[in-house]
Amino acid sequence: MTRRRAGAAVLAAAALVSGCGLGDDGAQTRPAAGQQPPRQKSAADALDSYASRLRAQHTARVAAAKRWGLRKVPLTAPPPPAKKPRIRTRHGFEVEGHREENLPPVFTTVPTRHKVVFLTIDDGAEKDPAFLRMMSELRIPYTAFLSDYLVKEDYGYFKRMQDRGAPLNNHTLHHPYMPALSYARQKREICGMQDVIEKRYGKRPLLFRPPFGNYDRDTLRAAKMCGITHVPLWNEEVFVDRWEYREWDRSIRPGDIVLSHFRGKDDWKGTMPDMIRRFLDKVTAEGYAVARLEDYL
């Protein structure tokens, strides 16, 4: 260190000890008469402030769980992994040329040892403001897959959803059975929805879910051409009155993707908050937290 730098360091240290600072011109400044010097915030202060925020968040979550009629307070997911897991197509879900053409992986579970699941909700038919309040108050992450023929009834509802932290992804323009369409028509369905989401919500999605979970090689080729990197399906589906399972043992596993739909009393014997209550009561009772799917991809 040069003498000039060493001298500056000594002056700065002396200023901190004496309660003096350096002005914009480098001149030493002192507190006004009768004024206490500013207190330096310590690491202990920062830790205490962080702990206070955590306590406040937990208290708010306990109150929200009670308000929304949950049996237990939902568990908090661990921090997102620093190194993302490698996502591969589930065995039996491949199409011809999947690996050779580097087509987007199709998967139902994300590799993780943590007891987390991922909630995904499809289409956009029901636009229940109580659902938005519930998810915000409980701080539950979820991912939406939207179809324009339903979303266009109220683009603003899904903007409010996005503003509250929910990623908005692609579920085609008109929700057709994709394998029945030509490559060109499948591409219009997927790329067209990419354009709608970018125009309305400012970002082109990276995730795509084919309607009904049905796809062929042309679907994945078109999805790749439209900028899609992942095609998540699901391992369980939750309704307002029941669960359905892909696996024979009817069990939830770490990293499972759970599907539901934007539905209300016109289609279900209950509301979207009723569905979320059934979902959270089960996963919490089994020791699972709900994580954000995009954080693992």
Question: First vs last Cα of the chain: how many Å apart?
Answer: 46
Per the structure, the complete domain to which residue 248 belongs is given by: 48-296
Nearest to 284 by CA among 101, 162, 116: 116
Burial of 159 (0-12, 13-18, 19+ CB in 10 A): middle
Percent of the chain scoring above 90 in pLDDT: 79
Is residue 245 a part of any domain in this protein?
yes
Residue 122 in 3-state DSSP?
strand
Is residue 113 a part of any domain in this protein?
yes
**How many structural domains are present in the chain?**
1
pLDDT band at 10 (very low <50, low <70, confident <90, very high): very low
Nearest to 280 by CA among 77, 107, 144, 110: 77
One-letter identity of residue 246? R
pTM score = 0.84
Read off the pLDDT of residues 155-208 as tens digits, 9 standing for 90 and up.
999 999 999 999 999 999 999 999 999 999 999 999 999 999 999 999 999 999
Is residue 235 a part of any domain in this protein?
yes
Is residue 15 a part of any domain in this protein?
no
284, pLDDT greater than 60: yes
Give, in order, the Cα–Cα distances in Å from 153 to each of 73, 126, 157, 174, 286: 34, 10, 9, 13, 37
Is residue 22 a part of any domain in this protein?
no
Is residue 30 a part of any domain in this protein?
no
CATH number, domain containing residue 215: 3.20.20.370
